[in-house]
Amino acid sequence: MMKTYFSKMNSPIGELLLVGDGTSLTQLLMLNQKYYGSETQEDWQRDDTIFRAAREQLEAYFAGELRAFDLPLAPSGTAFQQKVWQALRDIPYAQTESYGALAKRIDSPKASRAVGMANGHNPISIIVPCHRVIGANGNLTGYGGGIERKRWLLEHEGYLKKSGPRVTLF
């Protein structure tokens, strides 16, 4: 049986939970994230050293010094979800794409709702940038971590103008 390791780190959008198998990152979760609990399991082992590269890259991202992550990832999901999550990684920093455009790009033009569901179930937030998917009308629609976190991430990347005073998210 494969061991599961975890680490926690603070960020501008609240505490993050990093989960992995010792080789790859399998989850990056936020507190109160939809579809996923942000609590560790009893049989998981804390090991911050396994996640050193992920933590360093996330810190650099939040400091505005990193635009693309380079980490081994192993999210668990269906073949369709995997296809969507891989396509998310192709959305450039500070740019967005609509659910419909993403569906067309993965050769499933009528599957924008399914793309939305797969996007919402992305277990590796931020690094697999599901926050960069918006509604066809340009609105910030659903985000598993909450719409305020999505807004913060898009402002941080420079896609959106900063909307005044920051709100504490955690």
Same domain, 102 and 53: no
Beta strands 45-46 and 133-134 are unpaired
pLDDT of residue 16: 95
pTM, to two decimals = 0.89
| Domain assignment present for 138 | yes
Is the predicted pLDDT of residue 169 greater than 50, yes or no? no
| Domain assignment present for 73 | no
Q: Over the stretch 24-52, which tens digit does the pLDDT of each residue have?
A: 999 999 877 766 666 788 999 999 999 99
| Domain assignment present for 164 | no
Q: Point out the catalytic residue in the list 58, 84, 130, 134.
A: 130
Same domain, 50 and 85: no
Domains contained in the chain, number: 2
Band of residue 160 on the pLDDT scale cut at 50, 70, 90: confident
Q: Using the structure block, give the residue that is written with the tokens 């598993």.
A: 144
CATH of the domain at 99: 1.10.10.10
List beta partners, residue 16: 9, 30
Q: How far apart are CA 125 and CA 11, in angstroms?
A: 13
| Domain assignment present for 144 | yes
CATH of the domain at 26: 3.30.160
Q: Over the stretch 69-126, which tens digit does the pLDDT of each residue have?
A: 999 999 999 999 999 999 999 999 999 999 999 999 999 999 999 999 999 999 999 9
pLDDT of residue 11: 96
24 is catalytic: no
Its domain, for residue 11, covers: 5-62
Same domain, 83 and 151: yes
